[in-house]
Structure 1
Amino acid sequence: MTVPLDTALSYQCFLSDRVRAAKPSEVRKVFRAAQRPGMISFANGAPYLGGLPFDRLAEDAQRILQSRAAEAFQYGASDGVPELRAHIVDIMRLEGIEADAADAVVTAGSQQALDIAARITINPGDVVFAEGPSYAGGMAVFTSYEAEIVHVPSDADGLIPAELERLSAEVRAAGKTAKGLYTIPNFQNPGGVNLSVERRGEVGRICRDQGLLIFEDNPYGLLGFEGQTLPAIQPQFPDITFYFGSFSKMFAPGLRLGWVLPPAAFRGELVKASETAQLNPSVFTQLLMSAYLDDPAWRDTLDTYRALYREKYQTLVETLSAVMPAGTAWNAPTGGFYLWITLPEGLDAEQLVYECIERGAVYVPGTAFYTDGQGRNKMRMSFCLPTLEQIRQGAAIIGEVFREALASR
């Protein structure tokens, strides 16, 4: 059949089935609606960058261009430059992971790493378990490869192991293939909770017994308000765990650098898939990131951010306590970027977000973090980027909208 390419709808026939079946991201819909000057955004999980040593970074960049320009602007190793992988190993050691620099694979952010891992492991129809709620971008990766997401209930100590075991049995009884668990064990996005140390072992044992892979996504592990870190799942279960790290939250997202530490048996296939996706990550940005990490002062900068995020979190909670309607509840994160809020019965966060946007403030409705329609009375507020004054002003706007909506019921 010949289809004229100049018709408004004709392009649809060229799209793959998986693209046509994909649902629009609620997060992206909110971001598009909120793109106007003066908007106070609690929607974007973007780090504050004001404390970075930009002068020193400029000097590092100049030195790289003067001494290693030909290398920096050339193709590089598909799994990353050796000096950055050595730093990555040192960073992972802070959470109990022992690995060789040759084991890690550098990618253009951990989002790409997750995509590559899903590409080599997920078949259409496979089931991937994920916390309920879970990171929208992670779920988008797995659903793009036509996986089914099954949410595992969580509480203040993270994912509930008994529920994972129960759901895994139900999935297998239904004749489906359960492939893996996607988890953010530290300062989870969007729930803000930590998977307890005891549960990390329980979850790993269940996955091993049930033949599940573990996709351990850890962009926030070094962002505890008091500098605390928890041991990763990977050291106990290295043969089934893909561990994902990122420089986007602990440093800056603009360099687009992350990594994956795959199970040894998967590394060759993962590197081949990475080559297909990008040939190699940017050599220049890797050298710049490595130069930044050469100076131990990066840890002092990280401490500065931890203290700042703690102050912003406390300011948000203090303001919400004064402005939100009675019956509103939220978690108490000890690090990370996010506050997860439950609204009083009858309030719909997805409906009310657009009224908040009209008045100048935006959050992300809870439905964005589930694939099964849950979360209408939930919302995520990210406190990392707004100033303290913006936090007070924006939270006051949101509280006013919710109080009015509750009074009008």
Structure 2
Amino acid sequence: MALVDLDRFDFLYANRVKGMKTAATRDLMATLSRPGIISLAGGFPDTKAFGEEAFKDLSDDVAQGFAQALQYGPTGGLETIKDVIVDVMEAEGVSTRQEDVFITTGGQQGLDLVAKTFLDEGDGIICEGPTYAGALNAFAAYRPRIMHVPMDRAGMIPAAARESLEKARKQGVHVKFIYTVPNFQNPAGVTLAKERRRELLELAREYDLVILEDNPYGMLRFEGESLPTLASLEQEDNGEVERVVYLGTFSKIFAPGVRLGWVHAQPGILHKINVGKQGADLCSSNLSQMMISSFFQNSDWRGYVNRLNDIYRERRNAMLDALAEFMPKDVHWTHPEGGLFVWATLPSYIDATAMLPQAIAKNVAYVPGEGFYAGDEGKNCMRLNFSFVESDKIRRGIELLAEVIRERMELRGSLERGSHSGSHASQASQAAEKSSSRKSG
């Protein structure tokens, strides 16, 4: 295979490609399939929990309408799947109608279509720092200016978001939307506090922009009280959802292999998204839509989500316990109440990207933190996934990872001691030279 650096067609590629890069998780896929690797990297749900028999029954049901399942469908999605989404959103506190929902090929396509609809080159986006790497990839093709806002345990800090908006205004940057993953954020695992959700809505009204609420993990809560979505808060305040563009997906509450998500927004936005999707893939899979419709209409889907939460809670606890037991004291991590991820912060001198080959050599993998920033931040951070690996393997994986981190810390310490000793030797040598000089004089 020819080297990418020597690509002879480089002079023909569009400028937008220059800002695009692959996601670190995607790049790790070949490595993660290697036997013996304990992968704490991918954001994979545990699809084995669905069950073979349940899948067979579902397939048999869909087979009865095989002709429609194998056919093209409407760009915006089948009516049956929209009815399901109305029920799911009702469960999350948003009262909606079929016409407010638009089907996408996974939540990832929703990100791309929203970016295509709103962004011109140089437009601004406010988002958390760190933020979902897949969103950065989706936005990059439209060459926006990404402005990361710091987070704490309560999520994005609204005062810092205001500072970024004011800075953008002074610089003439047109900020189009605030992008947030409010529940059990990918990658940090933190949840945006209710009062901050209201503050972000106030900022959107004040600066006349949109909020893109990406909520794939909202139903994966293991503890604590559920919080209202930004869409439901806006609906509560105004009687309708106007500024919040809500992205949902079946990847976490059903299965990622069906590649089906949705956008909930006001009609004008959905019209533009419809046009954009027609140019992208015409329509999403009827087969996937019919499978999901059959399951959600004929099975206990809430019970299935509860089973997933029981599994993930146990694995999250295993990861947090292992981190507390094995990690050096200078390593810190988040304590998510749900979702799929823990975010770990290492001492500032450790480069998690440079350390990854050493970890893989010990048969454990993670995602380095710098892939979750548009700039060069997050180098001493890592994202750890707990949903896909059994608890005993999570414990062993964290133990191995802690060994790698400790080796890096010890190497740093030995280099500093060597430098310190060398400094003393140099000083002693200089003193001896001075003494010899005085004697010869």
State TM-score, norm by structure 2: 0.88
Deviations for 1:196-230, whole angstroms, at most 9, x for unmatched residues?
11111110110111122111000000000148532
CA RMSD of aligned residues (A): 1.6
Identify which of 238, 261, 266 aligns with 1:263: 266
CA contact (8 A) 1:81 1:283 kept: yes
- Note the 1:84-233 alignment, pairs <5 A: 84-226=81-223, 228-233=225-230
Taking the aligned partners of 2:224 and 2:67, their CA distance within structure 1 comes to: 39
Deviations for 1:23-82, whole angstroms, at most 9, x for unmatched residues?
44333334444442221111100001122143233222223222x122111111111111
Corresponding position: 1:50 with 2:53: no
Aligned length: 402
Taking the aligned partners of 1:108 and 1:163, their CA distance within structure 2 comes to: 34
Structure of higher CA gyration radius:
2
Deviations for 1:314-340, whole angstroms, at most 9, x for unmatched residues?
111111212111221111110000001
CA contact (8 A) 1:64 1:288 kept: yes
The aligned residue for residue 438 of structure 2 is none
CA contact (8 A) 1:94 1:229 kept: no
The aligned residue for residue 23 of structure 2 is 25
Which structure 1 residue ranges, 5 or more long, are not aligned? Answer: 1-6
The aligned residue for residue 279 of structure 1 is 282
Q: How much has 1:296 moved relative to structure 2?
A: 4.5
Taking the aligned partners of 2:273 and 2:341, their CA distance within structure 1 comes to: 31
Q: How much has 1:281 moved relative to structure 2?
A: 0.9
Deviates most, 150-159 or 8-17:
8-17
Taking the aligned partners of 1:22 and 1:69, their CA distance within structure 2 comes to: 39
Taking the aligned partners of 1:304 and 1:240, their CA distance within structure 2 comes to: 34
Give the SS at the match of 2:49. Answer: coil
Give the SS at the match of 2:147. Answer: strand
Give the SS at the match of 2:50. Answer: coil
Taking the aligned partners of 1:373 and 1:14, their CA distance within structure 2 comes to: 28
Taking the aligned partners of 1:271 and 1:227, their CA distance within structure 2 comes to: 37
The one-letter amino acid paired with 1:45 is G
Identity %, equivalent residues: 35
Identify which of 324, 327, 340 aligns with 1:324: 327
The one-letter amino acid paired with 1:265 is G
Deviates most, 25-34 or 127-136:
25-34
Deviations for 1:218-275, whole angstroms, at most 9, x for unmatched residues?
0000000148532110134321111000011111100101000122221211112112
Taking the aligned partners of 2:191 and 2:362, their CA distance within structure 1 comes to: 34
Residues 269 and 18 of structure 1: CA distance in aligned 2, closer, same or farther (over 3 Å):
same
The aligned residue for residue 3 of structure 1 is none
Deviations for 1:70-115, whole angstroms, at most 9, x for unmatched residues?
2111111111111111110111112221110121011110100111
CA contact (8 A) 2:248 2:262 kept: yes
The one-letter amino acid paired with 2:177 is G
The aligned residue for residue 353 of structure 1 is 356
State TM-score, norm by structure 1: 0.95
Deviations for 1:292-318, whole angstroms, at most 9, x for unmatched residues?
101351211111110111110111111
Deviates most, 305-314 or 219-228:
219-228
Taking the aligned partners of 1:202 and 1:21, their CA distance within structure 2 comes to: 32
Deviations for 1:106-147, whole angstroms, at most 9, x for unmatched residues?
111010011111101110000101101100001111111111
Corresponding position: 1:307 with 2:310: yes
CA contact (8 A) 2:19 2:141 kept: no
Taking the aligned partners of 1:194 and 1:304, their CA distance within structure 2 comes to: 22
CA contact (8 A) 1:57 1:292 kept: no
The aligned residue for residue 339 of structure 1 is 342
CA contact (8 A) 2:83 2:98 kept: yes
CA contact (8 A) 1:180 1:214 kept: yes
The one-letter amino acid paired with 1:182 is Y
Taking the aligned partners of 2:335 and 2:108, their CA distance within structure 1 comes to: 26
The aligned residue for residue 4 of structure 1 is none
The aligned residue for residue 256 of structure 2 is 253
The one-letter amino acid paired with 1:320 is L
CA contact (8 A) 1:184 1:217 kept: yes
Corresponding position: 1:395 with 2:398: yes
Taking the aligned partners of 1:156 and 1:50, their CA distance within structure 2 comes to: 32
The one-letter amino acid paired with 1:266 is I
Deviates most, 132-141 or 224-233:
224-233
Give the SS at the match of 1:203. Answer: helix
Taking the aligned partners of 2:255 and 2:27, their CA distance within structure 1 comes to: 24
Taking the aligned partners of 2:243 and 2:207, their CA distance within structure 1 comes to: 11
The aligned residue for residue 298 of structure 2 is 295
Taking the aligned partners of 1:9 and 1:318, their CA distance within structure 2 comes to: 48
Taking the aligned partners of 1:89 and 1:239, their CA distance within structure 2 comes to: 17
Residues 345 and 56 of structure 1: CA distance in aligned 2, closer, same or farther (over 3 Å):
closer
Q: How much has 1:8 moved relative to structure 2?
A: 5.3
Question: Quick check: which one's helix share is greater?
Answer: 2
